[in-house]
Amino acid sequence: MHTDKDNMRVLFVIAVLFIPQLPCYGELHFAIYSDEFKNILPEDPTFELLAKSDEPYEFHEGPAYFPDDNDGFLLYTTQPAKKYKDPKSDPQNSIKKYDIRSGELSTFRESSVAHMPNGQVRDTKNRLLTCEQGYKNLSPGRITRTNLSTGKVEVLVDSHYGLHLNSPNDIVVKSDGTIWFTDPSYGFMQDFRSKPELGDFVYRLDPDAKGPNLTVVADGFNKPNGLAFSPDEHYLYITESGAIQLPGSWHPNLPHHIYRYHVVNGRHLRNKELFAVVGNQVHEGDNPGIPDGIKFDQCGYVYVGAGDGVQVFNTNGDLIGKILTPTFVSNIAFGGKRGNYLYLLANSVLYRVRLRASGAEFSRNTEIQQCGNASSTLYFNPTN
């Protein structure tokens, strides 16, 4: 493992490409499809290679940024290559910590055959929420909460009316403290979970509710994956990655879409609509167009980890630009004191890109936002 402690932190000036149709592929570039994309870029766009590993899936999933007295740290989940080389081998996922100022990498939670951590997020009280996918019949999928001060881990939920969860994948926290997560059956498809007892649902969990606290809020998915609230929390966006069933597989006739739902009364989802179909003209034959983790900036722009890097959309679902990377970006997180650094988990590499825009969670409110030199309002509060 190499980090900036080994003088491996590298600062690059990004080549900004003005591309009307197909981007030219390079080491790492910005591809600009619309002038809107320039609203989120600083005048001197740069990126940093923070860490790299000989393990091809060291920087795999679940980036959660935590502030501290310095520059903060990331907690993320890792997947050893052995699992991908031999799908029938016991997985040994663990949670790692990356200290942003020192560049030090350490193990936050040791690997566990039983639980397989994946998506993660910081909750409203600075605790870590983790999607744990479970393993065979030893452990069901579950959502856990970790107190970083004490190290105490609580299981918040592992079943719905007595039926075991599948393999929870990604998770987001609403400002009211409720927890929303996706639960695809990837664990069964990839032979590390038992036969599903529930559908591929999206759930809302109210950890403070008395009585039943888990509700199905959306169904009809092949494989629901990432999810994120719009800055004013009137909409929930969900990525659908059914086009990948097994590692390395690609089924273009299955969904590789982003859907948008209207959040009603802060608790229910209505009016499902197709927001975007994620495509790829760069990595031919390399899981093209798979949307994974999804985040918002303060102005309502949508950032999606995909097969060719990070794709950025405006609120109309128009692709306005890309951060092109040599490998698949599974998930992303905003961080830094202003929230204007975007961290990219790209399998064996951890990148950081400085932006003009900040993450929505750093400035969430219900006011109309503007970004950069935008001449028009980018995010509108709904009237209904």
* Radius of gyration from C-alpha coordinates of the chain: 19
Tokens coding 9: 């932190």
Return the domain boundaries, the chain: 2-362
Residues contacting 348, CB < 8 A, separation 6+: 52, 53, 54, 55, 56, 57, 58, 59, 327
Please check whether the domain covering 2-362 is classified as CATH 2.40.30.10: no
- Using CA atoms, how far apart are residues 40 and 323, in angstroms rounded to an integer? 12
**What is the predicted pLDDT for the residue at 280?**
53
| Predicted local distance difference test score (pLDDT) of residue 371 | 58
Would you say how long the chain is, in residues? 384
Q: Which residue has better confidence, 375 or 30?
A: 30
Q: What pLDDT was estimated at residue 81?
A: 52
Residue 379 is predicted with a pLDDT of 37
Q: SS in 3 state form for the chain? A: CEEHHHCCCEEEECEEEECCCCCCCCCCEEEECCHHHHHHCCCCCEEEEEEECCCCCCECEEEEEECCCCCCEEEEEECCHHHHHCCCCCCCCEEEEEECCCCCEEEEECCCCCCCEEEEEECCCCCEEEEECCEECCECEEEEEECCCCCCEEEEECEECCEEECCCCCEEECCCCCEEEEECCHHHHCCCECCCCCCCEEEEECCCCCCCCEEEEECCCCCEEEEEECCCCCEEEEEECCCCCCCCCCCCCCCCEEEEEEEECCCEEEEEEEEEECCCCCCCCCCCCCCCCEEEECCCCEEEEECCEEEEECCCCCEEEEEECCCCCCEEEEECCCCCEEEEEEECEEEEEECCCCEHHHCCCCCCCCCCCCCCCCCCCCCC
Quote the tokens at residue 350.
């951890």
Answer with the residue of higher pLDDT: 153 or 254: 153
**pLDDT value at 327 more than 70:** yes
Q: How many CB atoms within 10 Å of residue 152?
A: 10
The pLDDT of residue 54 is 82
What's the whole-number mean pLDDT along residues 132-150?
A: 92
Per-residue pLDDT, 16:
42
pLDDT category of residue 42 using cuts at 50, 70 and 90: confident
119 falls in which pLDDT band (50, 70, 90)? very high
In DSSP terms, which residues pair with 29 in a beta bridge? 15, 324
pLDDT of residue 97: 96
Please give the residue that has the higher pLDDT: either 271 or 282: 271
Give the type of residue at 137: N
Tell me the HSE value of 13 on the side-chain side, using a 13 A CA sphere. 2
Res 93: pLDDT: 84
When pLDDT is cut at 50, 70 and 90, the band that residue 90 belongs to is low
The per-residue pLDDT for 83 is 52
Mean pLDDT, range 370-384, rounded to an integer: 39
Distance of CA 285 to the CA centre of its chain: 23
**Alpha carbon distance 247, 290 (integer Å):** 12
| Mean pLDDT of the chain, nearest integer | 83
pLDDT for 162 equals 94
Q: Which two tokens stand for residue 120?
A: 């993660």
Q: Strand 201-205 to strand 179-183: parallel, antiparallel, or no bridges (unpaired)?
A: antiparallel
Predicted model pTM: 0.86
Q: What is the pLDDT of residues 179-230, one digit of tens each?
A: 999 999 888 888 888 899 999 999 999 998 887 799 999 999 988 999 999 9
**Residue percentage of the chain with pLDDT more than 70:** 79
